[in-house]
Chain A
């Protein structure tokens, strides 16, 4: 099946620093990637939709200047949490979709656990 990787798997940083998370589709081209945030024992909350070669579409309530998304190639999307604060601590998961090869299924990355001190 399709494989999506994320890096890093976990990160601890000081308040005020920026953290970049990478999401890669390893065996298919992902025209669309999605970034989710998940708090403990809660559902997946869609933050933004990342489209290759164009600006990301952010969900209501998500600050685009704080969560910078770049989808520069068909296999890579990055999420940068700028000036991170403790309340940004969460589990960030990306997913990728290849409509041409894989139909409607979304394939999730393994997630990145962020802890901001």
Chain B
């Protein structure tokens, strides 16, 4: 089955800095990669996703890049704000399954 590794487990940045979270996956058949943001005690919310037919996708301060050859994808947050503080989960889903495999999560802390 799919295995998703996520790093770092904790990321602390100053407000205004950029934050990068990296994930690797094992199944070369995976073709859908969503990212979720989960604030403390709340539900995970989809913030951005990318499919395997593109290498990069951007939505305002958030961008995701995908390297299919290396089987890794990354989340980039620019101009971080305190409200970006949360746990971020990457996930990978194979074309043969509709169940994504989640990474372990990254706790992002943005200091004012």
A binds B: yes
Whether A110 touches B43, Cβ cut-off 8 Å, given contacts A104-B32, A104-B93, A105-B34, is yes
Q: Is the CB of B98 within 8 A of A99?
A: yes
Q: Is the CB of A106 within 8 A of B43?
A: no
Q: Chain B interface: which size bin? A: 20 to 34
Which residues of B83-108 have CB atoms within 8 Å of chain A's CB atoms?
89, 93, 98-100, 102-105, 107
User: Please, how many angstroms separate the alpha-carbon atoms of A43 and B41 in the complex?
Assistant: 13
How many residues from A make CB contacts under 8 Å with B? Answer: 20
Q: Is the CB of B89 within 8 A of A44?
A: yes
Q: Name the residue on A nearest B32 (C-beta).
A: A104
B105 proximity list for chain A (CB < 8 A): 41-43
Which one, A43, A44, A104, A113, contacts B98 given CB within 8 A?
A104
A67 proximity list for chain B (CB < 8 A): none
Q: Is the CB of A49 within 8 A of B43?
A: no
Q: Is the CB of A34 within 8 A of B89?
A: no
